[in-house]
């Protein structure tokens, strides 16, 4: 019985493929950061780097509560209780640091962002079709901080 002999070009291809795979595995060991795959398919340390590189823009409900606790108390019993103040009034960190800087005054267009009829929104969310509704100025008939009450 004759022994099988590998042709030299196949042997070279197998050796070349083995060298490529081996050098890839060695390079991956040295070049992959230790925090890779800590929280998924990315570097875990990147979360800390991103968090430390950006200054927060939003003040948060606690900052609003320092001066506007009466309004937050009204909100607590109404449909808008889960909304943040800055969802309607915009970024208010500067206002929280300096009360002379006024936040954006909410207009009807702010309400329409959430309440304009859209089939992708949940059915429990009250929606309107603006052209069929009474007008764009929502505050004529609704109180933003107490939406179920009328002015």
40-to-36, 37, 45, 52, 110 alpha-carbon distances in Å: 8, 5, 12, 20, 37
List, in order, residues 6 or more apart from 127 with CB less than 8 Å away: 115, 116, 117, 118, 121
The answer on pLDDT for 151 being more than 80 is no
Contact yes or no for 120/111 (Cβ under 8 A): no
Contact yes or no for 103/90 (Cβ under 8 A): yes
Q: What is the pTM of this model?
A: 0.56
Each residue's pLDDT tens digit, 66-115: 888 888 888 888 888 888 888 888 888 888 888 888 887 776 677 888 88
> 133: which 2 tokens?
């509704």
> 106: which 2 tokens?
């909410």
What is the DSSP secondary structure assignment for residue 143, as one 8-state letter? Answer: B
């Amino acid at each position: 019985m004759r022994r099988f002999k590998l042709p030299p070009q196949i042997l070279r291809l197998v050796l070349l493929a083995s060298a490529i795979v081996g050098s890839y595995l060695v390079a991956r060991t040295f070049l992959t950061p230790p925090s890779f795959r800590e929280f998924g398919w990315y570097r875990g340390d990147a979360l800390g780097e991103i968090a430390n590189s950006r200054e927060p823009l939003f003040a948060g409900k606690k900052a609003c509560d320092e001066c506007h606790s009466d309004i937050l108390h009204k909100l607590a019993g109404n449909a808008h209780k889960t909304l943040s103040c800055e969802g309607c009034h915009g970024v208010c960190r500067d206002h929280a640091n300096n009360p002379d800087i006024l936040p954006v005054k909410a207009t009807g267009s702010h309400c329409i962002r959430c309440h304009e009829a859209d089939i992708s929104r949940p059915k429990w969310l009250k929606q309107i079709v603006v052209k069929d509704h009474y007008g764009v100025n929502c505050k004529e008939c609704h109180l933003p901080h107490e939406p179920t009450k009328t002015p």
